[in-house]
Amino acid sequence: MTWFIDKLNVHQDHQRPLPLVGEQMVIRVELSTGEPISESPNFKLVEGSHSTKLTVRCDGSRVKITGNASRFHRIDNLFGLETIDDCIKVYNQVLASVDLPPFTKCTQVKYRQGEEGGKVQLVTDGALIDHIDWTRNHSVPPGTEDAFLRGISSQSLGRGKTANLHVNGKTVDWYQNSKWLYKKLYNKAFELSAHRAKNLKNASKEDAIYYNQLIEFCQELGLIREEHSFKQPWLERHNLRLYGRLNEADFLPHLTDIENIFKRLDDMTHTRYEMISEQLLIRNIVNSTQSANSTQAVAFKWLHGQPIARNSQYYIHRSRLLQIGIDISIPYDVTRVPPTVRSTQVIEVKSVKPPSWYRMPIPITRPQLHLVA
């Protein structure tokens, strides 16, 4: 199933003096003395078609772009750019439009001690990734999108990261407000409809017809969007910042946790709560009836809202139950129980391919770029 890139924030430091690029000069002053400490420009907006924007900044040595390369100059990003190289091609054309040098790949890397014993700093001759979003599309039976997301929200990620189901039921996410990462699933047809007015501002009649086709396509397929956002601290920890010294496959091991939830729920197709012990034995999750009954008893306590002590046995039972799609780390809520548990209804998740009429992205953007004053 194809992954592609949405948001991508990148910067690169240069030795030679570069022109200042920004909207305003920001001056920092020491309040106690009134003396200026530093001055630098803030971000400048570069506007593309279909109400798309990127932000560009250069303080004379550091060049930085933030934005969505797959969305820039496009009416949508249902299917986007699949490689970091292609995203950088888009950004380099934007840099050329404001007389700044292009982002280049890292060929030399070293570390230096920060000033006055501060944090060790990474120094390279190429671009560094500060943030990246990986996304892909799934299809569920039309009309089951909300039930699917409610079921997903019954599952935690990682070490008990509780899911958050949004009030409208159209999005479920994890790691809210984290400085490291953020993950979510959402109803794409609903999202496209909610942003119709903004995305179609000053659009042609042909574009409006195309956009409506996109919404209908998503509705007909029950399209669910998966998104993984990796932020600078996380990228640093996993050594995934050096452009040119990593590839797309390096991210794949970190993009499996939501898919694992799909597999857990798929395993629940014929599971009912009264059959928990039987399922644990059939799937060789436990090797004795006593262990199966013990874990089933914990599941029943969870079902009835009774407190479960967080001791070493708790984590053994939770690990067993997760393998049949039950997550006792999240309080039981009948509205979020996957349909595969409450009935024989099965929600099958499928991959999605672009239709023949879809306007696929190209790495090189249109030449009409406008700085927003």
Where are the domains positioned within the chain?
A: 4-263+352-372, 264-338
Q: Give the number of other CB atoms < 10 A from CB of residue 39.
A: 12
Per the CB < 8 A criterion, the answer to whether 111 and 121 are in contact is yes
Q: 3-class DSSP state for residue 323? A: coil
One-letter amino acid at 73 equals H
* Residue 13 token pair: 């430091």
Structural contact between residues 221 and 139, judged by C-beta atoms closer than 8 angstroms: yes
Residue-wise pLDDT tens for the chain (373 aa)? Answer: 689 999 999 999 998 899 988 877 777 777 777 776 766 777 889 988 888 999 999 999 999 999 999 999 999 999 999 999 999 999 999 999 999 999 999 998 887 776 666 677 788 999 999 999 999 999 998 988 988 898 888 888 877 688 899 999 999 999 999 999 999 999 999 999 999 998 998 889 999 999 999 999 999 999 999 999 999 999 999 999 999 999 999 999 999 999 988 877 765 544 455 578 888 888 888 888 888 888 888 888 887 677 788 888 888 888 888 887 788 887 776 666 554 444 445 578 899 999 999 999 987 755 555 555 4
What residues are paired with 61 via a beta bridge? none
- Has this prediction a pTM greater than 0.85? no
Given a contact cutoff of 8 angstroms between Cβ atoms, the answer to whether 226 and 137 are in contact is yes
Alpha-helical (H) ranges within the chain are 84-97, 145-152, 188-194, 196-199, 205-221, 232-237, 257-266, 276-282, 289-303, 312-322, 339-342
Tokens coding 151: 């079921």
pLDDT (tens digit per residue) in 185-226: 999 999 999 999 989 988 899 999 999 999 999 999 999 999
Contact 88, 28 (CB under 8 A): no
Q: Render pLDDT for 147-174 as a digit per residue (tens, 0 to 9).
A: 889 888 888 887 768 889 999 999 999 9
Q: What is the pLDDT of residues 113-152, one digit of tens each?
A: 766 666 777 889 999 999 999 999 999 989 889 888 988 8
